[in-house]
Structure 1
Amino acid sequence: MDILAFQNAVDLVTELEKVGVVKQVEERVFPDGEVLIRLPETGPEVALVLRLYPSVNDNIIKLVLALDALSDIGVRKVVLLTPYFPYARQDRRFRTGEPISSKTILKLLANYPVFAIITLDLHKPYIAEYVPRITTRNIYPAVEFAERLKDVDIVLSPDFGSVYRAEAIAKILGVSYTYFEKYRDRDTGSITLVPRYDVNLKGKNVAIVDDILSTGGTLVDACKSARALGANKVYAAVTHCQLLRDAREKVRGCVDRLICTDSIPNEFAEVRTGPILRRELERLL
C-alpha cells in the first residue's frame, strides 16, 4: 500500500514508513486563497495521511480534492488517517435547521473510495455509525494515558458524556472512577460540580479526563471542584488540546500536570499519535 502524506503530517511519516512507501503530496496556495494539490504516482490502494486541524476548512477542501483525484485515476481503496476528526462536536441536531455536521463530513467522504478512517477519540463514539459503509476505527489512547497516571487514586470525568473515558483508564489502573454533575444556584446563578457518587477526594491524587480542551472552562471548573473537595494532586489527560484564547494560563493555574496527545501539536503533548495510527493501520491491513 502506498502512503500519501500531506505537508502538515510529515511528523507522522517516520512511523508510517514501517507500513508502506511514503510519498509526498504537492500543495500550492494561489493568491486568491484557492488551493491546488498534485498526487504522486500511486497504486490501487492508498493510505492518505493529513492533519485536518488547524485550518480545518482549507484542509477539508484539500482532502476532497485529493480523494476526487484518486477516484479519477482508478484508486479502489483509500484509508484515511487523521488524528483529529473535525466537526465532531456537532454530533446531533441541537436546534431545528442545524445540520449534524459530523454526519455531513462522513457523507461527503462516502462519495469517494474511502474504505476506512483511522482517528483518535471522536467526540461521541456513535458518530462512526452515521455512515456504515465507511469503517471507522476510533481509538481512545487509554493505555498511553494510564502509563502516565500511575500515582492516581481516582479518575474523574467532567460530565456523564465522557465517563466511558474515565472508566477505560480507571480499569487499567485498577482504581475507581466517577463523573461530575452540574448544579446551579437559583439565587446567585453560580455553578457547582459535585461527583455523581459519594467519593472521598481528600488527600487523593485525581485525574480529570476529556476529549477536547478548547478554552479550558470545563476542565478548570472540574479542577477547582476537585480541589475544593480536598484533592491532593490534580492531573488532566485530554486527547485533543486546542488551547484557545487564554486556556494555557487558566489550566496552568489549576492542574498540576496536563497530559495531551499530539493529535493537535502542542507543548503538553506526551502521547505520540504516529505509533497509534500505524498500529491500527497494520491491524486493518
Structure 2
Amino acid sequence: MKRIIFSLSAAPGMPEELARIYGAELGQIEHRQFPDGETYLRLISPVQAADVVLVCTLDRPDPKIMPLLIAAEAARNQGARSVSLVAPYLAYMRQDKAFRSGEAVSSTSFARLLSAYFDLLLTVDPHLHRIAALEDVYTVPSRVVSAAPTIANWVRTNAPNALLIGPDEESEQWVQDVAQRAQAPSAVLEKRRWGDFDVSISGGSLPDMTGKQPVIIDDIASSARTLVETVELLKNAGAAAPICVVVHPIFAGDSYDELLAAGAKQVVSTNAVHHPSNAIDMSESIAAALEEFGLESDELNDAEQFPRPVST
C-alpha cells in the first residue's frame, strides 16, 4: 500500500526522517496565502488510494489549522485511502473545564474539529490534566508517543551524575519514568500557579545535591515561569547550575532568554516543536508508533463509523 507524507509544519528534517523510517514518499505540497489572507493549497503529489499522513505540529495553532483542514479534505477528495494526522504538539489541551460562567471548553471543541477530518491521530506527550486520555475527547483512534525513553537516552549520554528534578506534582510519574530509564535519582518539587505568568515553586526537603548535576524536566515551556522559578530555587539552595529539558519548547515572548538569564546551564528540547534548543530527535519514536498504529489495522475500519466532511 502506498504511503505518502505531507509536511505542513514540522522541525527541520523531521518529515524527511519520518518518510525514510516509515517507508513513505515525501509528498510535494504548494501552500500560500492570497492577498486577503485566505489559504491556497495544492497537493502536487497524487494521493489516489494512498495512506496519507499530514505532519503538522500545532504550536501557535490558529494560523495553521485552516491549511491543515483544507489539506486533509483535499487528500480525501482526491481519493486517499486514509488521512492521518501526526501532530507532535497537540494544541488546545489546557482549557479542559469551564472555570467561569460563559467560558468555552476549547479542548473539546478542537477535538471535535480534528476528529471530523482525520482517521487517526498521533501526538507526543499531550498536556493531559483533567482529561485522562485523548479518547475521552477525540472520537478517532489516537496514539501518544512518550518522549521519556528518548530523553532518558540523552540524559545518560550528556548528563553524568544527573539528579532529575520534576518542577511540580503533576510531573512526578513522568519524571520517575525518565529517572528509572536513565538509572538516575529524582526529586519532585511543589508548584502553585496564580496566573498565566505567576507561579511559585517550593523545594520542600530537597535531597543532597553535592556532586550532582540537576536536570529539570518539564513537558511544556510556554511562559517558562515554572522553569525560571525552579532554576532560581536550585541556585539559592547551592546546587550546580541546572540543565533544563523540555518536551514542547513553546517559549513565548522572551521566556527562553529569561530562562538562560536565570542561571540555566543549558536548555535542550525535543523537536516536537521547532526551536533553537532542539537537541533530542523524536522522529524515530514517532515513525515506530506510526508503524505500530498500522494504517491497515482494525482501528482504521472502526474509524469509518465517524462522520467525515462531504464535498458537493
1:258 maps to what in 2?
Answer: 267
1:128 aligns with 2:137: no
Q: CA deviation at 1:3?
A: 1.9
Kindly provide the amino acid, as one letter, of the partner of residue 32 in structure 1.
Answer: D
**Cα distance per residue 1:246-278 (max 9 Å; x no partner):** 222221121111110122222211012322222
Partner secondary structure for residue 137 of structure 1: strand
Match of 2:35 in 1: 31
**Structure 2 matches for 1:1-80, cutoff 5 A?**
1-9=2-10, 11-18=13-20, 19-39=23-43, 40-42=45-47, 43-54=49-60, 56-80=61-85
Alignment of 1:84-103 (within 5 A): 84-103=89-108
The letter for the 2-side match of 1:104 is S
CA RMSD of aligned residues (A): 2.5
1:183–1:283 CA distance, 2 compared to 1 (3 A): closer
The 5-angstrom pairing of residues 208-223 of structure 1 reads 208-223=216-231
Higher relative contact order (CA 8 A, sep 6+): 2
Amino acid paired to 2:15: V
Judged with a 3 Å threshold, the aligned counterparts in structure 2 of structure 1 residues 155 and 111 are, in CA distance, closer, same or farther, namely same
TM-score (norm 1): 0.87
Structure 1 match to 2:249 = 241
Paired with 1:195 and 1:263, the residues of 2 have a C-alpha distance of 29
Give the Cα–Cα distance (whole angstroms) in 1 for the partners of residues 33 and 192 of structure 2. Answer: 49
Aligned counterpart, 1:111:
116
Count of matched residue pairs:
278
TM-aligned CA distance change 1:233 to 1:22, over 3 Å? same
CA contact (8 A) 2:8 2:68 kept: no
Counterpart CA distance in 2 for 1:25 and 1:152 is 46
The residue matched to 1:240 in structure 2 has which SS?
strand
Which residue of 138, 143, 148 corresponds with 1:142?
A: 148
Identity of aligned residues (%): 27
Cα contact 2:89–2:123 (8 A) shared by 1: yes
Matched, 1:82 2:84: no
1:170 aligned partner: 179
Distance 1:2 1:153, change over 3 A: closer
What TM-score comes out, normalization by structure 2 length?
0.80
Relative to structure 1, is the Cα distance of residues 107 and 138 closer, same or farther in structure 2, using a 3 angstrom cutoff? same
Are the equivalent residues in 1 in contact too, given 2:7–2:15 (CA < 8 A)?
A: no
Pairwise CA distance, 1:203:
4.3
CA distance in 1, matches of 2:31, 2:258: 37
Residue 86 of structure 1 aligns to a residue whose secondary structure is coil
Q: 1:104 to 1:234 in 2, by over 3 A?
A: same
* Post-superposition offset of 1:7: 4.8
Q: Go from structure 1 to structure 2 and tell me whether the alpha carbon gap of 1:191 and 1:267 turns closer, same or farther (over 3 Å shift).
A: closer
**Gaps in structure 2 of 5+ consecutive residues:** 295-312
Residue matched to 2:303 = none
